[in-house]
């Protein structure tokens, strides 16, 4: 948990999850509201490690992960000090109950036709696509969505993290997932994590970091509003989230990269303070 962010009480919807009912109704809006969204996440647990207690709902998206790989990772190593109490598949209808049609995506480096082919025809003729898109298509796995709830072990206390947290994991593309989950449901994430964007050899079709990237355009133009903070690796250049030059510190070293936290100065909230800042040493 980050001391500079307020500790939030365990929400009632999460406290009321029926441990014995693996087919519990999926509380879509509860999961989305006040959540942290992490595209190209793979199995990086650093946002949960550092923000559990400040945030109780985490949404991960990565189209390079299979369902079996996720289940194995949850078993070993899993989350230190936590055990799984609920796991169930989530359907497309549960995620987009009002229906949803993905709008066209535009990337500065990939033509709209190539983007459309990449997103809609993963098994199409690879010779019809340019090399970068054809290369990244190899990383795509069969889509799925799984909802987990984890509970803190009895021998751990509040200093270790929240009593419970929710994790919705989707094998899905990062930009269209944000559109489907947040934009189509008229809400915004509380925070977004851009720790490694996965472009290049990571298999992502477009970088998240530039201000004119497809993800930035989607997130920052969401009619429901922008996330309040950005959890990133120092490479993101979104002017809506400036760093505070007066704040001393050196960030934290996660297993993936040096991570910083920046505030959205366009939407000041008394709950989260007025300044951007680096995360304190873990």
Cα angle 54, 209, 261 (rounded to 5 degrees) comes to 25
Residue 252 confidence class, pLDDT cut points 50, 70, 90: very low
pLDDT number for residue 128: 43
Residue 276 confidence (pLDDT): 29
Query: Quick one: average pLDDT of 249-263?
Result: 47
pLDDT tier at 21, thresholds 50, 70, 90: confident
Give how far the C-alpha of residue 265 lies from the chain's centroid of Cα atoms, to the nearest Å. 21
Mean pLDDT computed over every residue of the chain: 77
Q: What percent of the chain has pLDDT over 90?
A: 40
Sign of the dihedral through C-alpha 41, 42, 46, 47 = positive
Burial group, residue 67, by CB count within 10 angstroms (0-12, 13-18, 19+): middle
| Residue 136 contacts residue 201 (beta carbons within 8 Å) | no
Which pLDDT value is given to residue 259?
53
Distance CA 123, CA 56 (A): 37
Rounded to a whole number, what is the largest CA-CA distance in the chain? 57
Q: How far apart are CA 279 and CA 262, in angstroms?
A: 9
| Two tokens, residue 17 | 């999850």
Asked if 172 contacts 142 with a C-beta cutoff of 8 angstroms, the reply is no
pLDDT bucket at 150, cuts 50 / 70 / 90: very high
pLDDT at residue number 113: 55
pLDDT of residue 7: 82
Taking residues 54-80, what's their average pLDDT?
Answer: 93
The residue ranking higher by pLDDT, 270 or 172, is 172
Model pLDDT, residue 139: 62
| Per-residue pLDDT at 134 | 44
Domains of the chain, by residue range, sit at: 12-110+141-263
The model's pLDDT over 206-217, given as tens digits with 9 standing for 90+, comes to: 778 888 888 999
Question: Region 158-180: what's the mean pLDDT?
Answer: 92
pLDDT at residue 169 greater than cutoff 60: yes
pLDDT at residue 163 tops 80? yes
Residues 252 and 279 sit within 8 Å (Cβ to Cβ):
yes
Give the per-residue pLDDT at 243: 64
The whole model's pTM is what?
0.80
CA dihedral 113, 224, 162, 215 (to 10 degrees): 20
pLDDT in tens, 98-142: 888 876 665 555 555 555 554 555 444 444 444 444 444 556 788
């Amino acid at each position: 948990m980050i001391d500079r962010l307020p500790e939030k009480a365990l929400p009632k919807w999460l406290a009321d999850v029926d441990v014995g009912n693996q087919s519990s109704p999926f509380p879509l809006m509860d999961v989305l509201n006040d959540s942290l969204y992490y595209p190209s996440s793979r199995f990086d647990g650093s946002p949960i490690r550092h923000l559990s207690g400040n945030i109780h709902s985490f949404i991960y998206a990565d189209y390079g992960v299979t369902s079996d790989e996720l289940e194995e990772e949850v078993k070993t190593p899993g989350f230190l000090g936590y055990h799984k109490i609920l796991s169930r598949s989530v359907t497309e209808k549960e995620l987009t109950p009002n229906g949803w049609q993905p709008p066209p995506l535009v990337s500065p480096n990939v033509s709209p036709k190539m983007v459309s082919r990449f997103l809609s025809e993963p098994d199409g003729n690879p010779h019809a696509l340019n090399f970068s898109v054809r290369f990244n298509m190899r990383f795509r796995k069969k889509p799925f969505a799984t909802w987990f709830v984890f509970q803190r072990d009895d021998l751990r206390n509040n200093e270790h993290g929240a009593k419970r947290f929710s994790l919705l994991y989707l094998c899905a593309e990062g930009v269209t997932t944000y559109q489907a989950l947040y934009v189509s449901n008229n809400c915004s994430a509380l925070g977004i994590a851009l720790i490694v964007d996965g472009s290049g050899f990571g298999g992502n079709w477009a970088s998240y970091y530039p201000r004119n990237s497809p993800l930035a355009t989607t997130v920052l133009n969401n009619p429901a509003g922008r996330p309040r903070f950005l959890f990133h690796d120092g490479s993101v250049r979104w002017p809506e989230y400036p760093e505070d030059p007066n704040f001393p510190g050196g960030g934290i070293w996660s297993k993936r990269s040096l991570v910083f936290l920046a505030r959205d100065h366009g939407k000041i909230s008394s709950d989260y303070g007025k300044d951007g800042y680096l995360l304190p040493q873990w």
